[in-house]
Amino acid sequence: MPHASGYVLLVDSDEEYRGRLSGLLSRAGYETREMASGEEALQAARAERPALVVLEVSLPDTSGYTICRQLRDEFGDGLPIVFISADRTESFDRMAGLLIGADEYLAKPCPSDEFVWRAQRLISRSAPAPPPEPPESDLTPREREILGLLARGLSQKQIAGQLFLSPKTVNSHVERIYEKLDVHSRTQAINVARRDRLIEV
């Protein structure tokens, strides 16, 4: 079961290692797409934004640093980027990668569990936040309907006619609405309803 929307873009000319990372991520529930060159990676990212980019520093057509800069320019800081490298593993290499804009810099071969953990952490940070849930209310659907009509300026008599209810029934609903919202007037009820998103504004 995927942990986040989007896919992981794996960019490495080493097909065997790329396949190993793809297998690890697939078993963890992530979709992956594999690219061997920087230009292929840019085209893939532009076609559909990835949730994470895992980028080898040494690529056949360009430097991973160059691709990282281009991804940052186009997608901003919200796109997680991880550098991996088999030969550029000194501390100054790592610092260069982080200064260019990578979120992580891992030396090959990275332990499987560590790689998956770091990827999961970055992907969860990359995932868009879910929309806020509307606050709970114990108003019934009918009470919400009547409250919406009150907000539109209809009188209780007009609401009764529109909903085919007796004026007495509408009055009872309105009294319960006031009680549940802890208000004493139509204006107060409408203000609370709009503030708490109980009705369409």
Residue 165: other Cβ atoms inside 10 A? 17
Its domain, for residue 50, covers 8-126
Q: Do 115 and 166 lie in a common domain?
A: no
Quote the longest CA-to-CA distance of the chain. Answer: 82
Mean pLDDT of 71-87: 89
Residue 71 host element (H or E):
helix 64-75
The CATH number given to whatever domain includes residue 64 is 3.40.50.2300
pLDDT digits (tens, 9 = 90+) for 31-67: 999 999 999 999 999 999 999 999 999 898 888 999 9
Q: How far is CA 75 from the centre of its chain?
A: 14
The pLDDT of residue 93 is: 72
Query: Does the pLDDT of residue 145 top 90, yes or no?
Result: yes
Q: Do 104 and 160 lie in a common domain?
A: no
Residue 132's pLDDT band, with cuts at 50, 70 and 90, is low
Q: Do 122 and 145 lie in a common domain?
A: no
Q: Do 121 and 145 lie in a common domain?
A: no
By mean pLDDT, which of 79-88, 133-142, 157-166, 187-196 is the weakest?
133-142
CA 43/CA 27 separation, integer angstroms: 26
Q: Do 59 and 119 lie in a common domain?
A: yes
